[in-house]
Amino acid sequence: MDRTNGASLKIRASHISKVFSNGKGSVEAIRDFSLEVKEGEFLCIVGPSGCGKSSFLRILAGLMTPSSGKLEIQPGEDTSKPLTSMVFQEYAVFPWKTVLENVGFGLRMRGIHKAERHAIAQSWIERVGLTKFIHAYPHQLSGGMKQRVGIARALANDPEILLMDEPLGALDAQTRMVLQEEILRIWEERRKTVVYVTHSIEEAVLLGDRVVLMTAHPGTKKAEFPILLPRPRDLKVTATPEFGELTYTIWEALRGEVLSAMESTGAGSSKGVG
Amino acid sequence: MKGRGTAKPLGALVLLFALWNGGLTLFHGWASLWWLGLGVDFLLIVGIAELLGKMIPPAYAPLYRRSLSVSFPLLLFIAWELLVRGGVLSPDWFPPPSRIVQALWELITKFDEFSKTSLLGRPWLLPGAIGGSRTETVEELLAESHLYATLMRVFVGFFLGAIPGILLGMVMGVSPTIRTMIDATLSAFYVLPKIAIFPIMMLIFPDPFGEGPKIAVVAISVFFLVTINTMVGVRDIEPVYLEAGRNYGASGFRLFYHVILPGALPVVFAGLRLALGTALIVIIAVEFVRAKTGVGFLTFYYWEILSPEKMYAGLVVVMVLGVLLTAGLKKVEQWVMPWRRP
């Protein structure tokens, strides 16, 4: 049943640790975290707030270096393609660039000339349904539209691996559902390798081929769940008993962690899980 | 319906306003009670404006608000004019607005044969000078204009201060090492009143009474403000934009050009606006102290020869300059940062 059987390894992270230190002391964000991701796999990392999942993603993106451990990413046949492109929770769409310039940004940095760049960007803008806003600046867009720009920017860059850091975390529930379906639809077309960080178990089960559970203080891998729900999926899958069972199983594994995290931080944060 | 409810109190307030002012005038109360008269008038006007605002249909509300902000200062001028004409305020200290306007007109249109200068010089001779049919050169004619002198000092000083300020601020924002080295020194210089270094500038420049020291003081005042604001602007860029820039392949100069520079621009322009105002303050102060030209000199000169309405006219010119320069900078800002246009 495992669709990724036989596919080559894309990411091999072995015993990754990350320690942040300042003058007063140090915080261990990630401890001995190992992970393998296959080519074309949609991997979701779920964990309570502050469990180091965003830090791990930044290590994958090359924005941070691990304190110890080894990270291997298998480059593609076309070495001019970027290894990773990231979609950020805060959108990180440049306010000073139009939708077209934002989506074409990665291509421009790679030196792809204007005509080709605009053609690629336009086709992605069309696919996320923003053609009417192609020359708009981000301040004219809603949160959901901004994140569509963020997703289009990452996909237009055609990376080996798509990294998504709680991309729907800042959106309202309805917009989130619309974008979940959009992500599913776009991913089914290409089956690009994705590492998707979220604190919503439902989102992880809906989108992923596999869910990795992370624990906090320090962040490390607690459990792994293969998601064998049939593809192509859409939101209808959330109404099936299998979906409910998987979600609850993962929640049971996570619950203890969340409770202990709340106790260790005092009264407990307002951020829920899922 | 709501309007009808406020019509009666409105009428009462207008009547009260008329009675109060009429009564004070009739019984010659203004001379001794002018402060009370004005205070009560102000309260009555606020009441009338408030009630009128409730009667205005919502569609006209913005127009009404704008007309309020224009008509209140106008009302102040009228009160000023009346108080002087009524003999309550001395025209020696508070020349009436009508005479200030008249003085301003004279400053603009008449060439003062005695001091050989006017606000604009003799621009009507310029076509002849350019054509070569006059003995005066264009430079000589421009030198007669006090407005030109002040504007030149502000512009040249502003650019000479702002450009290095932006460069140093950017470098300090990007490099923690340079920031740590310079920050304390910069803060110490920042709080120093720039007019206090004018004597040093006069020592440094070969011609202490020339344009050099004056422009230098303006440039230095602008430099510190712009440097500090630019540094803050660079440091306040959301880290996630830098991460996005790096993740999408920008580094070095391209990261600077595509992310850091546009990200810092709003705060840089806030600094430039502050600096422009400060430049005007500093140059007028310098011209008060030691200059033979400029709007500041003109204002002080008319104090010395006891011509208060022309002194006031000079102040009006400074205010108008401030408003126009700020508006001009605002236009530049909109042109440079089209993404912030509403």
B164 and B287 both lie in a single domain: yes
B201, part of any domain:
yes
Q: Identify the three-state secondary structure at position A87.
A: strand
Nearest CB partner across the interface for A88, out of B244, B250, B340? B244
Look up residue A71 and give its two tokens: 């990270």
**CB–CB of B238 and A92 under 8 A?**
yes
A182 near A152, Cβ under 8 Å?
Answer: no
Q: Does A86 touch chain B (CB under 8 A)?
A: yes
pLDDT at B240 over 70: yes
Which of B15, B50, B85 marks a domain boundary?
B85
Q: What is the nearest CA distance from B270 to chain A, expressed in angstroms?
A: 17
| Interatomic CA distance for residues A126 and A100, integer angstroms | 11
B12, part of any domain:
yes
B153 and B300 both lie in a single domain: yes
| Interatomic CA distance for residues B17 and B42, integer angstroms | 10
- Model pLDDT for residues B158-172, shown as the tens digit of each residue: 999 999 999 999 999
Res A25: pLDDT: 84
B322 near B329, Cβ under 8 Å?
Answer: no
Q: What is the nearest CA distance from B160 to chain A, expressed in angstroms?
A: 27
Q: Which positions in chain B touch A100 (Cβ < 8 Å)?
A: none
When pLDDT is cut at 50, 70 and 90, the band that residue B214 belongs to is: very high
Candidate from B131-145, B146-160, B228-242 with smallest mean pLDDT: B131-145
Nearest CB partner across the interface for A63, out of B238, B247, B340? B247
Question: Number of residue pairs across A and B with CB atoms under 8 Å?
Answer: 57
* Nearest-10 Cα torsion for A182, A185, A188, A190: -70
**CB–CB of B249 and A86 under 8 A?**
no
Q: Are strands A9-21 and A26-38 parallel, antiparallel or unpaired?
A: antiparallel
Q: What is the nearest CA distance from A198 to chain B, expressed in angstroms?
A: 18
Res A4: pLDDT: 45
Q: Which positions in chain B touch A58 (Cβ < 8 Å)?
A: 243
Q: What is the nearest CA distance from B188 to chain A, expressed in angstroms?
A: 27
CA separation, residue B35 to residues A224, B49, B74, B96, B271 (Å): 81, 21, 19, 18, 40
CA separation, residue B257 to residues A96, A109, A226, B190, B251 (Å): 12, 12, 44, 28, 10
B162 near B227, Cβ under 8 Å?
Answer: no
B160 and B295 both lie in a single domain: yes
DSSP A28: E
Which of B45, B60, B85 marks a domain boundary?
B85
Q: What is the nearest CA distance from A244 to chain B, expressed in angstroms?
A: 35
* Nearest-10 Cα torsion for B120, B126, B129, B134: -80
B295 and B215 both lie in a single domain: yes
B328, part of any domain:
yes
| Interatomic CA distance for residues B338 and B342, integer angstroms | 9
B246 and B333 both lie in a single domain: yes
| CB contact burial A217-229 (16+ within 10 A = b; e otherwise) | bbbbbbeebebee
| Interatomic CA distance for residues A106 and A85, integer angstroms | 9
| CB contact burial A234-254 (16+ within 10 A = b; e otherwise) | eeebbeeeebeebbeebeebb
Q: B316-323 — which CB contacts under 8 Å span 24+ positions?
A: B316/B100, B316/B104, B317/B104, B317/B107, B317/B119, B317/B147, B318/B280, B318/B284, B321/B150, B321/B151, B321/B280, B321/B295, B322/B277, B322/B280
Spatial strand order of the sheet with A84-87 comes to A84-87, A161-165, A193-198, A42-46, A210-215, A220-226
A49: phi then psi, degrees, rounded to nearest 5: -55, 140
Chain A interface disruption, residue of B237, B238, B242, B247, most A CBs within 10 A = B247
A126 near A103, Cβ under 8 Å?
Answer: no
**CB–CB of B340 and A139 under 8 A?**
yes
Q: How many Cβ atoms are within 10 Å of A79's Cβ, its own excluded? A: 8
B224 and B327 both lie in a single domain: yes
Res A135: pLDDT: 94
Q: Which positions in chain B touch A86 (Cβ < 8 Å)?
A: 243-244, 247
Res B122: pLDDT: 74
A106 near A82, Cβ under 8 Å?
Answer: yes
Which of B85, B105, B125 marks a domain boundary?
B85
- Model pLDDT for residues B45-67, shown as the tens digit of each residue: 999 998 888 888 888 888 998 89
Q: What is the nearest CA distance from A48 to chain B, expressed in angstroms?
A: 21
Q: How many Cβ atoms are within 10 Å of A166's Cβ, its own excluded? A: 20
Res B1: pLDDT: 47
B161, part of any domain:
yes
Residue A96, CB-side half-sphere exposure with 13 Å CA sphere:
17
Q: Which positions in chain A touch B264 (Cβ < 8 Å)?
A: none
B191 and B259 both lie in a single domain: yes
**CB–CB of B243 and A58 under 8 A?**
yes
B169, part of any domain:
yes
- Give the ipTM of the model, two decimals please: 0.87
Crossing angle of the two packed helices B30-55 and B2-26, in degrees rounded to 10 = 170
Q: Does A55 touch chain B (CB under 8 A)?
A: no
When pLDDT is cut at 50, 70 and 90, the band that residue B110 belongs to is: confident
Q: How many folded domains does chain B comprise?
A: 2
A235 near A179, Cβ under 8 Å?
Answer: no
Res A266: pLDDT: 54
B149 and B282 both lie in a single domain: yes
B72 and B149 both lie in a single domain: no
B291 and B175 both lie in a single domain: yes
B80: phi then psi, degrees, rounded to nearest 5: -60, -50
What are the residue ranges in chain A where pLDDT is below 50?
1-4, 267-274
| Interatomic CA distance for residues A43 and A32, integer angstroms | 19
Question: Which residue segment(s) compose the domain that B288 sits in?
Answer: 141-340
B152 and B43 both lie in a single domain: no
Q: What CATH number is given to the structural domain containing B278? A: 1.10.3720.10
B125, part of any domain:
no
Res A117: pLDDT: 94
Res B24: pLDDT: 86
Task: Give the DSSP per-residue string, B117-182.
Answer: BBSS--GGGHHHHHHT-SSS-HHHHHHTBHHHHHHHHHHHHHHHHHHHHHHHHHHHHH-HHHHHHH
B105, part of any domain:
no
**CB–CB of B339 and A63 under 8 A?**
no
Domains and CATH numbers, chain A: 1-74+195-274 (3.40.50.300)
With a pLDDT cut of 70, the percent of chain B lying above it is: 96
| Interatomic CA distance for residues B171 and B177, integer angstroms | 10
User: What is the pLDDT of chain B when averaged over all its residues?
Assistant: 87
- Model pLDDT for residues B20-51, shown as the tens digit of each residue: 988 888 888 887 888 888 899 999 999 999 88
Interface of A with B in 89-118 (CB under 8 A): 90, 92, 94-98, 105-106, 109-110
B298, part of any domain:
yes
B77 and B175 both lie in a single domain: no
When pLDDT is cut at 50, 70 and 90, the band that residue B270 belongs to is: very high
